[in-house]
Structure 1
Amino acid sequence: MSDLIHGGDLISASAQYGIPVEEWLDLSTGINPVPYPVPQISEHCFQQLPYQSAEFKSAVKNYYGAEGVAANGTQQIIELLPSVLPSVSQELPILLPDCGYQEHRYSWQQHGRAINYYPATDQKAAEQCIQECIEQQLNTGVAMHLLLINPNNPTGIRFSPKQIYRWAEQMQQGAYLIVDEAFIDLSPEQSVLSDYDRFEQLGNILVLRSFGKFFGLAGIRLGFAFANQQILQQLQTELGPWAVNGPAQAVAIAAFNDAKWQAEARQKIRQNAQATLELWQPLLRTFNAELLSCDGLFLTVKLDAEKAKQIYQFLAEQGILIRLVLDDEFNCDLSADKAQSDSKNCLLRSGLVDTQNADPCEKLKRVISELLLTLE
């Protein structure tokens, strides 16, 4: 298990700042603040061994358009990928985003793999670097896996399915293109699974999908992998027969089949994203922050590191937890002008507030106003 600190760790925040867990406003994750309403669950789901039912598998295929392997969250799959991906050499390196979900990097490091990085805060720079690395592989014949977090958490950059297919076509034999689509549910047409025939034909793309973020039920611990049959069989063998508990399957069946709720949730998330941005705007203008992402389940800004730490600390002391992303945490230099400035930039990421819940909105608005008053 990794010792990396993730968003949502209210227990550590409570211990550090002396504020009870139940009194925090947690904006440190990208989880839908309006979760799917958990249905009544049959007692059999708790009593029987959780073999994956035909109803569960049908609901998965109905929602994702493909049959995959289910696990106790995508984290469980991420930890297995370096050991289950077949290759001409089991020591293939991997190309990762320099800003992104840290457990990907940690998993490949644990397996002793060489890691290269592409810039993930600039769309054009990312595409150019990835293309150059792929062309270098073509010229040298040396294969390398590639990971895309699409859209990227926390920077928000994203790649079109057309671009991803193009890169997959150019990959060396034995190399895989991994696409982490944990936040793609807001625009499922942008998933590489949306053209399943091409996905299946290429055979060298592996897609990760997360249940907890869009449906707002992270505690369910449910995630999926979609790949060719060889990879799926290897993953299933490693995961064993009871990778998804019975209650999780029951909730997922209801959620995946509820198209009405899904459509309404996408609309609410967009509304909540806009409302959250409006609450943050006075502070962002004051600190001259650069907005990187604001149209999904989180908003991310880039700003001076010392200012970001000041914001983070002030909010935490008032019981609001956000995500502070320092440049050394993600193997990248976020400075605006590395040649001419000694100042360091970093990222701040905030989850969404629910506009239908007045208390969190008022708390965030009040604390931001109090912080602004300290600057006068």
Structure 2
Amino acid sequence: MSDLIHGGDLISASAHYGIPVEQWLDLSTGINPVPYPVPEISEYCFQQLPYQSAEFKAALKSYYGTEGVAANGTQQIIELLPSVLPSVSQELPILLPDCGYQEHRYSWQQQKRELSYYPATDQKAAELCIQQQLDSGSAMHLLLINPNNPTGLTFSPEQIYRWAEQMQQGAYLIVDEAFIDLSPEQSVLSDYDRFEQLGNILVLRSFGKFFGLAGIRLGFAFANQQILQKLQTELGPWAVNGPAQAVAIAALNDAKWQAEARQKISQNAQATLELWQPLFRKVEFGKLEFGKLDAEFLSSDGLFLTAKLDAKKAKQIYQFLAEQGILIRLVLDEEFNCDLSADKAQSDSKNCLLRSGLVDTQNADQCEKLKRVISELLLTLE
């Protein structure tokens, strides 16, 4: 078994390192560490077939501003996208970020589509690459993960609208907004009239990350009616279980909790950064040097923080933390599309990311454990 454990997989981590699941500090995902308090759920939700209720649809529209299709997590929708886009575009290639949620790439590969990539760790390079592809006049789909997990790359709604206006007929601009809830005004859904007028944007939204309830598996898609109807047909009538609907109705309608959650997430992000800061204390102009450890922060707010650094040191840090019962996310070179790099040896050093989720500042044990282990880690790097 590989020493590398993927995000959230505490069962594998426990088996590999011999540490019970309940003793781990899981910082390997970008899930809110302070989840929405699950309300009391009626027995009715468990007993009846889960047709989507009027209350559920109303809560969805109230929170997102428009009607959409609900599924058992956005993963279920991602798997369907290559086959539900209009038949005239079945063979179109797709332009994706070279680093991001890998299930997007896998779904299109399964359909044997032609894939090309733009760099996801450099804002200017990404925008230039996308614009050049659009200027070429070639018909293609475009995927934006906004903000990108794990690189933090973001695009403004206005930029996305401009790109959508340049897309060829039959091509779609797919925007995965799994982490947009902290800044909902940055969603392309915030200007619904323009979104509807363009008609070629498909938006994915995740429930579990912001609300901290990934286990109930709930996600949404927003697009033109033709695409929504195709998705609904593929998903069937019972794509969202009854208990998940009950929780979502309460959470999506709870504006007070949502506002407080955004404030808490900001506080927890700052606290998490401060806990990591001893490792990166020599930061200057976005760079840091710690002995031979050179790193660059790509994202340091929101639901995760990410640093780019030398692969050898990144593995050392990941391994040390895992042995102490702290799981973070290590993104190695093989998870990038290396065709973008002219120098593979150089790519091995640059294309390695460490991503940490957030601690809950109200959980003293979490904070103390991370602080202690980082202090011990520093001694090994001297």
Relative to the length of structure 2, the TM-score reads: 0.93
Judged with a 3 Å threshold, the aligned counterparts in structure 2 of structure 1 residues 139 and 162 are, in CA distance, closer, same or farther, namely closer
Separation in 2 of the partners of 1:279 and 1:66? 40
Shift of 1:340: 7.3
Alpha-carbon distance change, 333 to 279 in structure 1, aligned in 2, over 3 angstroms: farther
Shift of residue 375, structure 1, vs aligned partner: 2.8
Shift of 1:159: 0.4
Note closer, same or farther for the CA distance 1:368–1:334 as it changes in structure 2 (3 Å cut).
farther
Asked whether the equivalents of residues 327 and 334 of structure 1 are also in contact (C-alpha less than 8 Å), the reply is no
Q: How many residues align?
A: 371
Deviations 1:67-97 (A, max 9, x none): 0000000000000000001152411100000
Q: 1:334 to 1:351 in 2, by over 3 A?
A: farther
1:42 is paired with a residue of what secondary structure? Answer: coil
Once the two structures are superposed, the pairs formed by residues 234-245 of structure 1 within 5 Å of their partners are 234-245=230-241
Deviation at 1:137, TM superposition (A): 6.2
The CA RMSD measured in Å over matched residues stands at 2.5
- Residues 224 and 311 (structure 1), Cα distance of their counterparts in 2 relative to 1, 3 Å cut: same
The answer to which of 323-332 and 187-196 deviates more is 323-332
CA 1:339–1:347 in 2, change beyond 3 Å: closer, same or farther? closer
Mind listing any 5+ residue stretches in structure 2 that lack a counterpart? Answer: 282-292
Q: Per-residue deviation at 1:328?
A: 1.6
Query: Does the 8 Å contact 1:290/1:301 carry over to 2?
Result: yes
Residue 233 of structure 1 and its aligned partner are, at CA, apart by 0.2
Change (3 A) 1:64 1:205: same
SS at structure 2 position matched to 1:288: strand
Kindly provide the CA deviation profile for residues 3-53 of structure 1, in whole angstroms up to 9, marking residues without a partner as x: 997410011111111111111100000000000000000000000000000
Cα displacement (A) at 1:339: 8.6
User: What percentage of aligned pairs have identical amino acids?
Assistant: 91
User: By how many angstroms is 1:152 displaced?
Assistant: 0.4
1:373 shift after superposition = 1.6
CA contact (8 A) 2:19 2:325 kept: yes
**Is residue 338–residue 344 contact of structure 2 (8 Å, CA) maintained in 1?**
no
Distance in structure 1 (CA, Å) of the matches to 2:341 and 2:198 = 38
The answer to whether the Cα contact below 8 Å between 1:87 and 1:175 also exists between their aligned partners in 2 is: no
Cα gap change, 1:361/1:342 in structure 2, threshold over 3 Å: closer, same or farther?
closer
| Aligned residue number for residue 373 of structure 1 | 379
For residues 341 and 203 of structure 1, do their structure 2 counterparts lie closer, same or farther at Cα, with a shift above 3 Å needed?
closer
Matches of 1:96 and 1:343, distance apart in 2: 22
Q: Does structure 1 conserve the Cα–Cα contact (< 8 Å) formed by 2:336 and 2:351?
A: no
How far apart in 2 are the matches of 1:201 and 1:93? 24
- Partner SS state of residue 352, structure 2: strand
Per mean C-alpha deviation after superposition, the further-off stretch among 358-367 and 85-94 is 85-94
Any idea what the Cα deviations from partners look like across 1:263-299, whole Å, max 9, x if unmatched? 00000000000000010011124x3321100110000
DSSP-derived class of the 1:37 partner = coil
- Comparing 340-349 and 209-218, the one that deviates more: 340-349
Distance apart, 1:141 and its partner CA: 4.7
In 2, are the aligned partners of 1:88 and 1:173 still within 8 Å (CA)?
A: no
16-25 or 5-14: which moved more? 5-14
User: 1:176/1:269 Cα in 2 relative to 1: closer, same or farther (>3 Å)?
Assistant: same
